[in-house]
């Protein structure tokens, strides 16, 4: 009986390709890192532009240093790069508001932050109205609305009154409580990171955190540029991850906007 010819051995190089990577190279060839991730068509169940968040459990938010702000000391519109854990830019965010708001209402100023993907498409809109930032006004504390796509509300971040700790609640589009964020007693970095813990509603379990990274003495004194990291479960709803990004912007402006906050 004639023996069958083998169909050939399958030799694959298993790699963790990011979306938008080039075709697999030949074996033994080095792979150069990709600096910008290219968006693929989203699954029908996800808001357009949020599909990549389903693959992330770590999100890095880097505020860009504005030269005019350093030289003149004036407050300019904040700009942020939103990256994955490899340092590849996923989104770009830019603040929109008036000069009066930025320079005279700085920590409590109203704003609209538009978050675009690497093709320039706006995928997330964050709206913050002008509200109080004092425990003496518990009925009018900070609130933030997140839309994705723009015009469709996916959730809210609401500050909760507490005499000692910074506390926030993450709400879904139906204004139902989903998660809580609880900060430390002191939010100055003191030459170290500052962690805001993401907890379940009963505050018994910690499932993630929003961290303000210590960026060095010179940077913290002469600029208000900040670096943040968000850690959440990878299977968390992408809408909630988008709301967490909005919460990070709110925490930045409330507690770390002034250049001497890091001391």
List Cα–Cα distances, 118 to 21, 187, 249, 256, in angstroms: 14, 33, 20, 27
DSSP 172: E
Quote the longest CA-to-CA distance of the chain. 92
Residue in 85, 110, 115 with CA at minimum distance from that of residue 97: 110
Report CA torsion sign: 6, 11, 17, 23.
Answer: negative
Query: Is residue 131 included in any domain, yes or no?
Result: yes
Counting the structural domains of the chain, the total is 1
Query: Is residue 31 included in any domain, yes or no?
Result: no
Range of the domain at 249: 58-257
pLDDT value of residue 8: 44
Query: Is residue 231 included in any domain, yes or no?
Result: yes
pLDDT tens sequence across 126-157: 999 876 665 565 666 889 999 999 999 999 99
pLDDT tens sequence across 170-228: 999 999 999 999 999 877 766 678 999 999 999 999 999 999 986 544 444 444 457 89
Query: Is residue 222 included in any domain, yes or no?
Result: yes
Query: Is residue 126 included in any domain, yes or no?
Result: yes
Query: Is residue 34 included in any domain, yes or no?
Result: no
Query: Is residue 30 included in any domain, yes or no?
Result: no
Report CA torsion sign: 253, 254, 259, 263.
Answer: negative
Sequence-distant (≥ 6) Cβ neighbours of residue 216 within 8 angstroms: none
The pTM of the whole model exceeds 0.75: no
Tokens of 141: 């504390």
Query: Is residue 25 included in any domain, yes or no?
Result: no
């Amino acid at each position: 009986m004639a023996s069958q010819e083998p169909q050939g051995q399958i030799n694959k190089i298993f790699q963790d390709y990011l979306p938008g990577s080039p075709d697999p190279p030949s074996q033994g060839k080095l792979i150069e890192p990709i600096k910008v991730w290219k968006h693929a068509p989203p699954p029908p169940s996800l808001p357009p532009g949020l599909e990549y968040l389903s693959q992330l459990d770590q999100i890095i938010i880097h505020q860009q240093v504005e030269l005019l702000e350093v030289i003149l000391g004036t407050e300019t519109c904040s700009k942020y790069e939103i990256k994955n854990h490899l340092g590849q830019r996923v989104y770009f965010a830019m603040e929109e508001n008036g000069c009066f708001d930025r320079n005279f209402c700085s920590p409590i100023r109203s704003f609209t932050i538009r978050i675009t993907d690497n093709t320039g498409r706006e995928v997330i809109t964050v709206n913050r109205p002008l509200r109080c930032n004092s425990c003496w006004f518990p009925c009018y504390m900070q609130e933030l609305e997140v839309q994705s796509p723009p015009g469709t509300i996916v959730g809210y971040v609401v500050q909760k009154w507490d005499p000692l700790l910074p506390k926030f609640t993450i709400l879904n589009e139906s204004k139902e409580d989903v998660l809580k964020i609880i900060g430390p007693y002191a939010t100055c970095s003191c030459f170290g990171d500052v962690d805001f813990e993401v907890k379940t509603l009963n505050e018994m379990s910690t499932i993630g955190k929003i961290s303000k990274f210590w960026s060095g003495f010179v940077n913290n004194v002469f600029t208000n540029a900040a670096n943040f990291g968000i850690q959440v479960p990878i299977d968390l709803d992408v809408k909630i991850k988008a709301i967490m990004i909005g919460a990070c912007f709110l925490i930045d402006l409330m507690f770390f906007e002034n250049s001497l906050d890091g001391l």
